Copies of this chain bind each other. A is one copy, B any other.
Amino acid sequence: MPNPFVLKLEQCDSLSDDEKRVLESAISRVRVVENDEDIVHEGEHPSESNLLLDGFAARYKIFSNGRRQITAIHVAGDFVDLHSFLLKTMDHGVVALTPCRIAIVPHAALEKITDEYPHLTRLLWLNTLIDGAIHREWLTTMGRLSATAHTAHFICELFMRLKAVGRTDGDTIQLPLTQAELGDTLGLSTVHVNRVLQELRKEGLIRWQGDALTILDWERLVSVGEFTPTYLNLQREHR
């Protein structure tokens, strides 16, 4: 099976066979993390980073009073904590939302790549820059859109990202979040998430049963969420 991370990088730029080989050999081992377990804990000083091969994960911060905010949702092909290579201290946790298959990449291997493979280094850097671009987009949708529009936008984004790594099934994606988790992602209360979802359903934009979310009207969902995918950088360029 193709490494979804390579798949993702190849959306942005071309990779030489040599570079692919280097990437593969940077993986020291593969592990599985169960549902609801932390992949990385806040406060840790990890010496390796986690590449998600299968499953869904989330970055999150928790306040003293127990309120939680999810700052990123990760899917197959995402390097969930590549930044810990240089940031050293995890300022947030990463939790598995489903059982996750994870490739471990030691920081020593990353350091070697940065020493010897400039182009590959730029692509790894790019990867974290796209994370940043998504953060910015979330900031604007959170700050300036209604709860409904914000939710629609999130669904559009997730659909496109899953499509980029071949994890869509027609107009359907897997969305393994509870409404409470979706609230933590969007900065809303669980009750309001429920209201918003009902509205999106009533408007005939989506269907969501169990884990399966189906887009019923992409055009209108995009328009409600004011979604433009530029920030996802899914264009091939020389980097």
**A130 surroundings in chain B (CB, below 8 A):** 87
Instruction: Compute how far the CA of A114 lies from the CA of B239 in the bound complex, rounded to whole angstroms.
Output: 11
How far does the alpha carbon of A114 sit from the alpha carbon of B140 in the complex, in Å?
Answer: 31
Are A83 and B132 interface neighbours, CB within 8 A?
yes
A138–B139 Cα distance when bound, in Å, is: 8
Q: Mark A76-93, 1 if CB is under 8 A from B, else 0.
A: 000000010011110110
Query: Do A230 and B68 have beta carbons less than 8 Å apart?
Result: no
Which candidate, A32-40, A119-127, A194-202, is the interface stretch facing chain B?
Answer: A119-127
**Cβ contacts under 8 Å, A125 to chain B:** 86, 121, 125, 128
In the complex, are the beta carbons of B121 and A230 less than 8 A apart? no
Q: Which chain A residues in 8-56 approach chain B with CB under 8 Å? A: none
A142 adjacent to chain B (CB < 8 Å): yes
**Smallest Cβ distance from A29 to chain B, in angstroms?**
25
Which residues of chain B are near A89, meaning CB under 8 Å? 230, 233, 235
The reply to whether B91 and A230 contact each other, CB–CB distance below 8 Å, is yes
- The answer to whether the Cβ of A237 comes within 8 Å of any Cβ in the partner chain is yes
Determine if B231 and A69 form an interchain contact, defined as CB atoms under 8 angstroms apart. Answer: no
Given contacts A226-B64, A231-B91, contact A128 B118 (CB under 8 A): no
Q: Does A101 make an interface contact (CB < 8 A)? A: no
Q: Which residues of B contact A135 (CB under 8 A)?
A: 132, 135-136, 139
Q: How far is the CA of A72 from the CA of B133 in the complex (A)?
A: 12
- Which residues of chain A have a CB within 8 Å of any CB of chain B? 59, 61, 63-64, 67-69, 71-72, 83, 86-89, 91-92, 114-115, 118, 121-122, 125-126, 128-133, 135-140, 142-145, 186-187, 226, 230-231, 233, 235, 237, 239
